[in-house]
Structure 1
Amino acid sequence: MPRLRGADAATVRDAIESGDPLPGTAGFAGEVDDQLVRDVLGREPLYLDAAADDRTWSFDPTELAEPELLDAGSVVEPDGQRREVWSLPTPEIETDHEAAVSAVREAVLTSVREPAESGLAVAFSGGVDSAVVAAGVPEVPCYVSGFADAEPHDVAAAREAAAAMDRDLRVVAFDHADIERAVPEVVHATGRSNAMDVGIALPLYFVAERAAADGFDRLAVGQGADELFGGYRKVVDPAEDHRVAAETVRGATREVIRTLPDQLPRDVLTLRAAGVDPVAPLLHDRVVDAALRLPADLLATEKERKVALRRAAAGVVPESVRSAEKKAVQYGTYAARELDRLARQAGFKKRMDDHVGQYIDALVGGEV
């Protein structure tokens, strides 16, 4: 097993010495000079064993007795002392809209074109995020998953987008038996059994599992775009939205970006459990830097979200794809709907507190 993932030791060593939070990587974690590290956005997970007296650690929480996720931006010294080395930077706002969009475009296109196409597939939902990622690697197949007895939003959108982009699309249809099989595997891999995390992870798991079966060992994903570029409804009018503490669009966007270190391990661990390594070009440092410089009206407005990213995608993806809205993956694939249906069929009624979570716990425990 590698002792460092995502970057070479020299780059991480320099980043520690300089305190540079964005040293030109797509995230990193591991051991350098007997120090344990995890990058500022937590793009690579690293776990310590809370049950051990020493610094027992792993990239995989299933290998530890009591896994504890290391905070993003942290370094653990040889004596076990932890310190925050990197924090989310606050670069100057680029007030020139044309220059800001141009910077986003250059950063995004450079990043999506970097991955080698050999052994690579793309997770494709038909939205602008995954379409831009797919545009960077034009010869690789695209995968989408959705519930089998319907045509979920993500599958329909992916079919339309793939046709517009002339791409090879492979649809992974999952049914109730697949969900019942995969839920324990996802929970074991991620250590998470709440309904939201499982609902998000399942469609990724099915896509990755199929891609791995087809011979691919890496999966390119669009993760990070919603957080970096103002893709959530709650950042549009944050002063009136209880889901965020910030009162400005930029403040709310930064608040959402800070949720990435907790979210990303779920996705990374899910994909690796299914047999592929994730490639997330929209989370590269150069993209993060360009996104952090955006003014509020290039993030989200009442009429449009991910404004700068959509403008940067002009001419890169078809107009119908560039402007398309999509649902969250757990809803767009019907994963959440069918988890709820299975829970009710198993006797966990909606009137019960967290009925889907109780069903997941029972399924993992072999009690369903």
Structure 2
Amino acid sequence: MQGADPGTVRSAIDDRDPLPGTGGFAGERDGALVRDVLGRYPLFSEAGDRSTWSADPTDLDEPDAVPAGHRRDADGESRIWTLPNPDPYVDDERAVSEVRGAVLDSVDGVDGSPAIAFSGGVDSSILAARLDGPLYVGGFEGSHDVEAARSAAEALGREVRVVEFSHADLERAVPEIVRATGRSNPMDVQIALPLYLVAERAAADGHDRLAVGQGADELFGGYAKVAKAPDDPRVEADTVRGATREVVTSLPAQLERDVLTLRAAGVEPVAPLLHDRVVAAALRLPGRLLIDGEERKVALRRAADFLPPEVRDRDKKAVQYGSYVARELDRLARQAGFKRRMDDHVGKYVDSLLD
């Protein structure tokens, strides 16, 4: 069983408790495969043979992912856990206090000193302020993430190790990521590339774990499409709180990609902002503590009052854009003859690298 002891998982099954106080889990219990409600650990069985399973899809001929929150055995598949939908906090001060307590308990509870993926945003700065491991940022020369990480590290009194990407790195890493994740669409590849290259450097430096701030954007209202609800066609919900819940349900697919990417690079991810206690606190936030005008992740920023204001209040770009990976992968595609006028020109370039 990945992520939790078998006794805790059995109790969660018996009680139908979706948030039993873990950082997620997946594996076999009492003859069945189970995966936590947010799918924080990947789990696959062989298509047509549910008795053959693995956390690594490359171990199987036809891997079939166990859906988050489900139980799968020889007789079939059923949902055990559903994401809670609690009433929102009424008192804003109490809400922020609950978020602060959950975040600090989770981050401070991380064992040892894992390396830290650091972009200079509020999520990774929380980790950098509370954990002792070295900070790593990756990107092309002059990229937003590298500059933001340097300035944030200086404000925190930390040093950051810069992993400078090259075109050769992208060309080499793309097939490795596709092989590990089974995904070749450009968006997944663009997101996975910076994670893979930073994790690869951390592993080369002797680290076997990498702390990441994943989940914070989904849980705390970090996306523009959430801020624009109901006017953004990318979400169906008609409120900020509903849109936040909608993007939280997208986490299983994202986390499967990210965990497999990081493991392929040689590290095990540590994601304290995805602990059950943080999830439970975030799910109770009212819309005004998620988005307030132009400010996103309101409650998380207020809870992170131990950070310097210039770090706590800064926005960040999505990793594929902040690192310039999306831009440079597009450049490589065009240089290889896949022009933008072509349909899915970057996808065709990715496929060419696999060939």
Please report the TM-score for the alignment, with normalisation by the length of structure 2: 0.99
Structure 1 residue aligned with 2:121 = 127
Shift of 1:54: 4.0
**Correspondences of 1:1-368 after superposition (within 5 Å):** 4-50=1-47, 52-77=48-73, 79-118=74-113, 120-137=114-131, 139-147=132-140, 150-314=141-305, 316-365=306-355
How many Å separate the matches in 1 of 2:164 and 2:344?
Answer: 27
Shift of 1:135: 1.6
Number of aligned residue pairs: give it. Answer: 355
How many Å separate the matches in 1 of 2:189 and 2:34?
Answer: 27
Letter in 1 for 2:60: L
How many Å separate the matches in 2 of 1:301 and 1:347?
Answer: 45
How many Å separate the matches in 2 of 1:335 and 1:212?
Answer: 21
Superposition RMSD on alpha carbons, in Å?
0.9
How many Å separate the matches in 1 of 2:160 and 2:345?
Answer: 35
How many Å separate the matches in 1 of 2:56 and 2:172?
Answer: 21
Give the share of equivalent positions with the same residue, in percent: 66
Listed as ranges, the gaps of 5+ residues in structure 1 are: none
Shift of 1:55: 2.4
How many Å separate the matches in 1 of 2:85 and 2:170?
Answer: 42
How many Å separate the matches in 1 of 2:243 and 2:235?
Answer: 6
Shift of 1:312: 0.3
How many Å separate the matches in 2 of 1:194 and 1:295?
Answer: 35
How many Å separate the matches in 2 of 1:254 and 1:362?
Answer: 37
1:55 alignment partner, SS class: strand
Runs of 4+, deviation exceeding 3 Å: none
How many Å separate the matches in 2 of 1:99 and 1:65?
Answer: 50
Listed as ranges, the gaps of 5+ residues in structure 2 are: none
1:351 alignment partner, SS class: coil
Shift of 1:168: 2.4
How many Å separate the matches in 2 of 1:155 and 1:101?
Answer: 30
Please report the TM-score for the alignment, with normalisation by the length of structure 1: 0.95
How many Å separate the matches in 2 of 1:239 and 1:270?
Answer: 33
